[in-house]
Chains A and B, each alone.
Chain A
Amino acid sequence: MAEPVVTLAHGGGGASTRQLLRDILLPLLDPAHALHLEDAALLPAAAGSPAWAITTDGFTVRPLFFPGGDIGKLAVCGTVNDLAMRGARPEVLTVSMVLEEGLPLGTLERVVASMRATLDAVGAVVVAGDTKVVERGRGDGMFLSMSGLGKVQVSPPPAAFRAQPGDQVLINGPIGDHGIAVLAARENLGFSVAVESDCAPLWSLVETMLSAGGPDVHVLRDPTRGGLAAALNEIAADSRVGVIIREADLTVTAGVRGACDLLGFDPLTIANEGKVVAFVAPRQATAVLEAMRAHPLGRGSAVIGEVITDSPGRVLLETDLGTRRLVDMPGGELLPRIC
Chain B
Amino acid sequence: MTRASTDGQRVLAAHRFRQMLAELVDRPIRLMEVCGTHSQAIGRFGLRQLLPADLRLLSGPGCPVCVTTPGEISAMIALATSGVIVCTFGDMMRVPGHTDNGSAPPTLSLAKAQGADVRVVYSPLQAVEIAQAHPDREVVFLGVGFETTAPAVAAAVLSAARQRVPNLSVFAAHKLVPPALVALLQSPGVALDGLLCPGHVSTIIGAQAYAPLVQQYGIPCAVAGFAPGEIMAGILSLVRQVRAGEARVDNDYARAVRPEGNPLALRTMYEVFRPADTTWRGLGTIADSGLAFREAYRGFDAVARHGVEVAVLPEPPGCCCGAVLRGAISPRDCPSFGDPCRPESPVGPCMVSSEGSCAAEWRYGQLAPEVREVTA
Contact = CB atoms under 8 A, between A and B. Distances in A.
Interface of A: 1-2, 5-9, 14-16, 19, 187-190, 248, 261, 263-266, 310-311, 316, 318-326, 328, 331-339
B106 to A, nearest CB: 8
Contacts of A324: 46, 49, 367, 371-374
Contacts of A310: 370-371
User: Chain A CB within 10 Å — which of B47, B120, B122, B355 has the most?
Assistant: B122
B120 A336 contact: yes
Interface in B197-253: 200, 226, 228
A339 B109 contact: no
Nearest to A321: B14
Given A19-B344, A319-B46, A328-B362, A190 B123 contact: yes
A62 to B, nearest CB: 13
A9 B373 CA distance: 34
A331 B365 contact: no
A326 to B, nearest CB: 5
A322 B43 CA distance: 13
Contact of A338 (B43, B94, B144): B144
Contacts of A326: 363-367
B22 to A, nearest CB: 15
B299 to A, nearest CB: 24
A188 B362 CA distance: 31
A337 B226 CA distance: 15
B343 interface: yes
Contacts of A321: 10-11, 13-14, 45-47, 50, 228, 376
B90 A320 contact: no
Contact of B344 (A5, A9, A320): A9
Given A319-B228, A325-B367, 4 more contacts: A323-B47, A324-B373, A336-B89, A336-B90
B344 A331 contact: yes
Which A-B residue pairs are the 6 nearest by beta carbons? Answer: A323-B46, A335-B90, A322-B376, A321-B14, A264-B354, A248-B7
A2 B103 contact: yes
A335 B228 contact: no
Contact of B376 (A8, A14, A266, A323): A323
B268 interface: no
A266 to B, nearest CB: 7
B375 A339 contact: no
A264 B37 CA distance: 8
B46 A2 contact: no
Contact of A336 (B49, B91, B94): B91
B42 to A, nearest CB: 10
B132 interface: no
B122 A320 contact: no
22 contacts: A2-B106, A2-B114, A6-B113, A7-B110, A7-B113, A8-B109, A190-B125, A248-B4, A264-B37, A319-B46, A321-B228, A322-B374, A328-B362, A328-B363, A328-B364, A332-B344, A333-B93, A336-B89, A336-B120, A337-B89, A338-B64, A339-B149
Nearest to A244: B371
A322 B371 contact: no
A334 B93 CA distance: 11
Nearest to B366: A326
A2 B110 contact: yes
User: Chain A CB within 10 Å — which of B90, B200, B228 has the most?
Assistant: B90
Contacts of A335: 90-91, 93-94, 120, 354
B164 interface: no
Interface in B307-345: 343-344
Contacts of B40: 264
Interface string B2-44: 0110010011011100000000000000000000010010011
A329 to B, nearest CB: 9
User: Chain B CB within 10 Å — which of A187, A266, A326, A332 has the most?
Assistant: A326
Contacts of B105: 2
Nearest to B41: A261
B61 interface: no
Nearest to A336: B90
Contacts of A16: 344
A267 to B, nearest CB: 11
Given A335-B93, A335-B94, A338-B145, A320 B11 contact: yes
